Amino acid sequence: MTDVNAAFVRDLVGRGLERREAMWLVEEFSPGADADAARAVELAGTRRLAGEPLQYVIGHWPFRTLDLDVDLRVLIPRPETEELVSLALKALVSSQATSPLVFDMGCGSGAIGLSILSELAERGISATVVAVDSSIDALDVARRNAIKHALHAVSFVNSSWFKDLDPSLQGHVDLVVSNPPYVGESEFEALDPVLRHEPYGALVSPSSSGVEGFKDLEIVVRESINWLRPGGSLVCEHGSTQADAVVQLATSTGYANVVDVADMAGNARVLIARKPLT
């Protein structure tokens, strides 16, 4: 690091930023002697010191193999969702679909669908992704990320879940994958205030069937079965307290091979279920 940039780090640390984050911002904007970049790093420091998540301040963040643009319009993709993608890929590859059709429900930044598209392409499998979100702002970010990574086999649909999707696709989808909002309204109040910077509608879902934050999960689990082909998979992230309810719902909806997989911390967090072959 140059002496000039080291001085920027000292200044940010002096203003109260952690040294690691100060270095991150300086490396990102590399101010040096450039006046615009110097202003950018100062502004970034001010935003971070005001509590805005580092990912939004930097404006992009790694997710699996992709560097995704992120801003206040989308959820910051989480490490546990990287595990969801691993499980989704495993489900797809085991089904031996040669050119799978994938629905990414509630796509946000596009993290899940774009990763699946990109990682399947690395294995020589050309998938098609339909990325769905009720937020036009989120779709804008996802579209930009698709262009950034030259991922073209994806269409973006503004829809509340399955409502406005092409009905001719019913019964033809190989994989429905989703990380829907699942935080309960009252749980949200107790969460780290840093989460208040993320879109409320990306995190919080109303209660349903006596379970906090369950409404959107319930819709995705109930309706996916109509869109999956026989043998197709649903892979869905959920909250750690919702495992019993989501497994029960999937079983009573008529899915087969219903399992719930724990995350690295040992909490049940991902539902995997198949539409029966007959």
Ligand X SMILES: C[S@@+](CC[C@H](N)C(=O)[O-])C[C@H]1O[C@@H](n2cnc3c(N)ncnc32)[C@H](O)[C@@H]1O
Distance in Å, CB of 108 to ligand X, minimum? 3
In the complex with ligand X, which residue's Cβ is closer, 45 or 108? 108
C-alpha–C-alpha distance, residues 218 and 58, integer Å: 35
Block residue for tokens 């087969």:
256
C-alpha–C-alpha distance, residues 172 and 153, integer Å: 17
In the complex with ligand X, which residue's Cβ is closer, 112 or 247? 112
In the complex with ligand X, which residue's Cβ is closer, 112 or 130? 112
Pairing assessment for the beta strands 228-237 and 128-133 based on DSSP bridges: unpaired
Residue 78 DSSP label = P
Distance in Å, CB of 3 to ligand X, minimum? 39
Applying CB under 6 A, the residues found at the interface with ligand X are: 75, 77, 81, 106-109, 111-112, 132-135, 138, 160-161, 179-181, 201-202, 216
Q: How many CA atoms does the CB half-sphere of 57 hold within 13 Å? A: 23
Distance in Å, CB of 160 to ligand X, minimum? 4
Pairing assessment for the beta strands 268-274 and 228-237 based on DSSP bridges: antiparallel
In the complex with ligand X, which residue's Cβ is closer, 17 or 75? 75
Distance in Å, CB of 165 to ligand X, minimum? 10
In the complex with ligand X, which residue's Cβ is closer, 22 or 114? 114
Distance in Å, CB of 71 to ligand X, minimum? 13
Tell me how far CA of residue 112 lies from CA of 15, 106, 108, 265, in angstroms: 37, 10, 9, 21
Closest by CA position to 219, among listed 203, 236, 233:
236
